[in-house]
Amino acid sequence: MQDRPATPLLDRVRVPADMRNFSSEQLRQLADELRAETISTVSVTGGHLGSSLGVVELTVAIHAVFDTPHDRLIWDVGHQCYPHKILTGRRDRIRTLRQGGGLSGFTKRSESEYDPFGAAHSSTSISAGLGMSVASALQEKPRNVIAVIGDGSMSAGMAYEAMNNAGAEKANLIVILNDNDMSIAPPVGAMSAYLSRTISSRPFLSVRDFVAKMAKNFPGPIERVAKRADEYARGLLTGGTLFEEMGFYYVGPVDGHNMDHLLPVLRNLRDTGHKGPFLVHAVTQKGKGYAPAETSGDKYHGVQKFDVITGEQQKAPPGPPVYQKVFAQALIAEAEADERIVAVNAAMPSGTSLDMFAKRFPERCFDVGIAEQHAVTFAAGMATEGLKPFCAIYSTFLQRGYDQVVHDVALQNLPVRFAMDRAGLVGADGATHAGSFDIAYLGCLPGFTLMAASCEVELAHMIATMAQIDDGPSGVRYPRGEGFALQPLPARGTPLPIGKGRVVREGSKIAILSYGARLQECLKAADELATYGLSCTVADARFAKPLDTALVEQLAKHHEVLITIEEGSLNGFGGLVMHHLALKGLLDHGLKFRPMTLPDIWIDHESPKKQYDIAGLNAPHITAMALSALGKEALAVSASA
Ligand SMILES: Cc1ncc(C[n+]2csc(CCOP(=O)(O)OP(=O)(O)O)c2C)c(N)n1
Ligand SMILES: CC(=O)[C@@H](O)[C@H](O)COP(=O)(O)O
Ligand SMILES: [Mg+2]
């Protein structure tokens, strides 16, 4: 147990109103205490530390100046919201962050009135803020709307769509660009370079410069104060920024850790009755104020529990290889043999392990920034020219690129390969990050070949299989975390016969057809069912499309019960099997068919094991499902208890 930091001022703040009469000096001290409390908290919960540390002063300044929650404050992604949660009535629960039943690691409307917009996927804040601003004008309920968006999140198309609209609407909106020159990895792209140039070509905006600049546009009291300063500033503040060209009033760069700069700038924005959209360019440091974070390569973007003194993070005991690395190794093996293979990721080089691929093939690996839509169509373009793109995008983030998958890839039958990591439930990130829907949203698209890996060795084979699929799009899904180490990993995968599943265990009464990594749970259930004298066939479908119809029909015809199971939503693999069985008339003769999917609810942050308990997809639930299908309700109840 590590000592809690002393936080005398923070102890006086339950909600932001409690600090609105603090002096600037007190607010500076409050920020220091808030930083210490954030570090102490994340040391026992794990989570997104670096981003939260970078916005401590911004958080204090915004809440001190604006009348939240009446004024709306929207955090883009929401992964930097821990200091915000501490200041907004949630300090007593902050050490439950990301734990089952505890606070979410992101902003969430249902959690607090201080979270007017939920997030976790990036680059939505300007759109949402603009909507709120327009609503406030139409409903004649004046309020400030402040969206805080990171430089990494500024790479997504949505942010530009929103700015384009905000400029045209001349909406009252304050966008604070929290520029720490980091995404999860170092940021990429021309916009990132532009922001760096903007910062390096201008000194930090002093309050005097700011007042002068405002005076030019806001006649009134401020003008009198600032006349002379205006003369002074004229030379400094020339030239339109990209944001100004888009209709925003650009304020910056501002030192985002300097309360003496932040407070007056924000107060002026509040008090001058600003008209039109403003962009405050705040320069911050990810991991600010905690040496181990500041000096680490990833600035402690996402950490395990750690020792506050040393910064050392808890290490998981050595275990089986994680899927993401198996994917990268398998892809490297394929790319060694075929120079047409290229890899694309959207700001997730470490999360997808494509950083390994980039090391080996720097010319053939593309990080496009947080830009999933672009990633998909960019890959489609490469496919038209004979390259073999593998697009590695978490299942949940591929949702952002869905029309591109449909219109640019599938409709043109282009051989883009999708590696969908984080399939199924992901633990502490909760519902926003669960890879629940890809089977359903890809399964309905003609021409797709779709696979799910039941273990890491299968994943290697599936990558090899996709490398061979040149006549249309393909995808493989695999979960977050470790595999099973059932067999040694091959140096290179072996292509699988397309559309063929495999029977893993032969039985007679009950058939369990698994799609993906629940297979081991199915085998445990089969063992359990054997103790009731019930013989089970267990099969690994491998493919959802093309479906192994011969296998499905054989299982349906020769067993009394057929259970399908997947780590995906309704209308996924089970839906495809059911459709086939229904069309073949195989549901008309007493087959007890039971599709087991994620339930039709949002499953919050928890350990993955508990999440799958909530979902009812662990071995005891499979056993219970089989027993209840056979009318053995009493046994089913005790099996799942
Ligand atoms: C649509 C989408 N793609 C990818 C991610 C994963 N992701 C979360 S935070 C992050 C980096 C964000 O960088 P920035 O906005 O600069 O915030 P910082 O972490 O630097 O504070 C990424 C890529 C996401 N949340 N949403
Ligand atoms: C905030 C965000 O979207 C990412 O940081 C995400 O939490 C990463 O998840 P993994 O830990 O599964 O890579
Ligand atoms: Mg950043």
CA-based nearest residue to 323, from 133, 446, 477: 477
Tokens of 607: 């350990």
Question: What ligand 2 atom has the least distance to the C-alpha of 78?
Answer: 1
- Confidence at residue 231, expressed as pLDDT on a 0 to 100 scale: 35
Q: Is 511 left (phi over 0), alpha (psi -120 to 50) or beta?
A: beta
Q: What confidence category does residue 225 fall into, taking pLDDT thresholds of 50, 70 and 90?
A: very low
Question: What ligand 1 atom has the least distance to the C-alpha of 301?
Answer: 19
Distance 344 CA to ligand 2 centre (A): 18
- Confidence at residue 218, expressed as pLDDT on a 0 to 100 scale: 54
Tokens of 57: 């002063």
Distance 69 CA to ligand 1 centre (A): 25
H runs (alpha helix) in 276-370: 291-295, 323-337, 354-360
Whether 153 is in the pocket of ligand 1, judged by its Cβ within 6 Å, is yes
Question: What ligand 2 atom has the least distance to the C-alpha of 184?
Answer: 5
Q: Is 120 annotated as a binding residue?
A: yes
Tokens of 594: 């039971």
Please give the torsion angle defined by the CA atoms of residues 14, 18, 19 and 23, in that order, rounded to the nearest 10 degrees.
-140
- Confidence at residue 575, expressed as pLDDT on a 0 to 100 scale: 98
Separation CA 475–CA 457 (nearest Å): 16
Whose atoms come closest to the Cα of 98: which ligand? 2
For residue 380, pLDDT beyond 70: yes
**How much of the chain exceeds pLDDT 70, in percent?**
95
Question: What ligand 1 atom has the least distance to the C-alpha of 48?
Answer: 19
- Confidence at residue 530, expressed as pLDDT on a 0 to 100 scale: 97
Radius of gyration of the CA atoms of the chain, in A: 27
CB atoms within 10 A of CB 530: 13
Beta-carbon contacts of residue 496 (< 8 Å; ≥ 6 apart):
451, 461, 462, 464, 465, 542
**For residue range 281-303, what is the model confidence (pLDDT) as tens digits?**
999 999 999 999 999 999 999 99
Backbone angles phi, psi at 372, to 5 degrees: -65, -35
Whose atoms come closest to the Cα of 370: which ligand? 1
Beta-carbon contacts of residue 63 (< 8 Å; ≥ 6 apart):
16, 19, 73, 84, 87, 88
Tokens of 535: 């013989």
**For residue range 381-424, what is the model confidence (pLDDT) as tens digits?**
999 999 999 999 999 999 999 999 999 999 999 999 999 999 99
The one-letter code for the residue type at 302 is G
H runs (alpha helix) in 124-220: 125-138, 157-169, 190-200, 207-217
Whether 373 is in the pocket of ligand 1, judged by its Cβ within 6 Å, is no
- Confidence at residue 234, expressed as pLDDT on a 0 to 100 scale: 35
User: Which range (315-319, 465-469, 470-474) has the least confidence?
Assistant: 315-319
Q: Which residues are catalytic, by number?
A: 286, 372, 400
- Confidence at residue 210, expressed as pLDDT on a 0 to 100 scale: 72
DSSP H or E run through 515: strand 510-515
| Strands of 510-515's sheet in order across | 502-505, 536-540, 510-515, 561-566, 592-596
CA 81 to chain centre: 15
- Confidence at residue 636, expressed as pLDDT on a 0 to 100 scale: 83
Is 612 in contact with 580 (CB distance < 8 Å)?
Answer: no
- Confidence at residue 356, expressed as pLDDT on a 0 to 100 scale: 98
374-379 average pLDDT score = 98
Is 313 in contact with 305 (CB distance < 8 Å)?
Answer: yes
Q: Is 273 annotated as a binding residue?
A: no
Distance 508 CA to ligand 3 centre (A): 57
ipTM at complex level: 0.99
Nearest CA to ligand 2 atom 10: 351
Is 578 in contact with 552 (CB distance < 8 Å)?
Answer: no
- Confidence at residue 57, expressed as pLDDT on a 0 to 100 scale: 98
Distance 357 CA to ligand 2 centre (A): 20
Q: What confidence category does residue 216 fall into, taking pLDDT thresholds of 50, 70 and 90?
A: low
**For residue range 592-640, what is the model confidence (pLDDT) as tens digits?**
999 999 999 999 999 999 999 999 999 999 999 999 999 998 888 888 7
Is 160 in contact with 242 (CB distance < 8 Å)?
Answer: no
For residue 70, pLDDT beyond 70: yes
Distance 228 CA to ligand 2 centre (A): 49
CB atoms within 10 A of CB 199: 16
Nearest CA to ligand 2 atom 13: 351
**For residue range 335-368, what is the model confidence (pLDDT) as tens digits?**
999 999 999 999 999 999 999 999 999 999 999 9
Whether 611 is in the pocket of ligand 1, judged by its Cβ within 6 Å, is no
Whether 422 is in the pocket of ligand 1, judged by its Cβ within 6 Å, is no
The one-letter code for the residue type at 303 is V
Whose atoms come closest to the Cα of 153: which ligand? 1
For residue 233, pLDDT beyond 80: no
Is 449 in contact with 525 (CB distance < 8 Å)?
Answer: no
CA-based nearest residue to 559, from 530, 589, 532: 589
- Confidence at residue 240, expressed as pLDDT on a 0 to 100 scale: 66
Whether 121 is in the pocket of ligand 1, judged by its Cβ within 6 Å, is yes
- Confidence at residue 215, expressed as pLDDT on a 0 to 100 scale: 63
Q: Please say whether the dihedral angle defined by the alpha carbons of residues 621, 626, 629 and 632, taken in this order, is positive or negative.
A: negative
Q: Is 374 annotated as a binding residue?
A: no
Whether 441 is in the pocket of ligand 1, judged by its Cβ within 6 Å, is no
Whether 433 is in the pocket of ligand 1, judged by its Cβ within 6 Å, is no
Beta-carbon contacts of residue 432 (< 8 Å; ≥ 6 apart):
106, 118, 119, 120, 121, 396
Whether 324 is in the pocket of ligand 1, judged by its Cβ within 6 Å, is no
Q: Is 100 annotated as a binding residue?
A: no
Q: Is 571 left (phi over 0), alpha (psi -120 to 50) or beta?
A: left
Distance 423 CA to ligand 1 centre (A): 19
Distance 628 CA to ligand 1 centre (A): 44
Q: What is the DSSP string of 575-614?
A: HHHHHHHHHTTTTSS--EEEEE---SS---S--HHHHHHH
- Confidence at residue 494, expressed as pLDDT on a 0 to 100 scale: 98
Beta-carbon contacts of residue 372 (< 8 Å; ≥ 6 apart):
346, 393, 397, 398, 400, 401, 404
User: Which range (55-69, 205-219, 248-262, 371-385) has the least confidence?
Assistant: 205-219
Q: Is 70 annotated as a binding residue?
A: no
Whose atoms come closest to the Cα of 52: which ligand? 1
Q: What confidence category does residue 222 fall into, taking pLDDT thresholds of 50, 70 and 90?
A: very low
Whether 397 is in the pocket of ligand 1, judged by its Cβ within 6 Å, is yes
Separation CA 362–CA 344 (nearest Å): 11
Q: Is 11 annotated as a binding residue?
A: no
Please give the torsion angle defined by the CA atoms of residues 158, 164, 167 and 171, in that order, rounded to the nearest 10 degrees.
-40
Nearest CA to ligand 1 atom 15: 150
Question: What ligand 1 atom has the least distance to the C-alpha of 120?
Answer: 25
- Confidence at residue 224, expressed as pLDDT on a 0 to 100 scale: 35
Separation CA 69–CA 255 (nearest Å): 25
Q: What confidence category does residue 205 fall into, taking pLDDT thresholds of 50, 70 and 90?
A: confident
Write b or e for each residue in 84-109: b if 16 or more Cβ atoms lie within 10 A of its Cβ, otherwise e.
Answer: bbbbbbbbeebbbbbbeebbbbbbbe
**For residue range 235-270, what is the model confidence (pLDDT) as tens digits?**
334 346 889 989 999 998 999 999 999 999 999 999
pTM over 0.90: yes
Q: What is the DSSP string of 137-149?
A: HHTT----EEEEE
Separation CA 446–CA 8 (nearest Å): 62
Question: What ligand 1 atom has the least distance to the C-alpha of 151?
Answer: 16
Whether 183 is in the pocket of ligand 1, judged by its Cβ within 6 Å, is yes
Q: What confidence category does residue 226 fall into, taking pLDDT thresholds of 50, 70 and 90?
A: very low
Q: Is 122 annotated as a binding residue?
A: yes
Domains in the chain, ordered, with CATH? 10-295 (3.40.50.970), 323-477 (3.40.50.970), 502-640 (3.40.50.920)
CA-based nearest residue to 439, from 398, 404, 480: 398
DSSP tag of 476? E
175-183 average pLDDT score = 96
Q: What confidence category does residue 2 fall into, taking pLDDT thresholds of 50, 70 and 90?
A: low
Beta-carbon contacts of residue 13 (< 8 Å; ≥ 6 apart):
19, 30, 87
- Confidence at residue 169, expressed as pLDDT on a 0 to 100 scale: 87
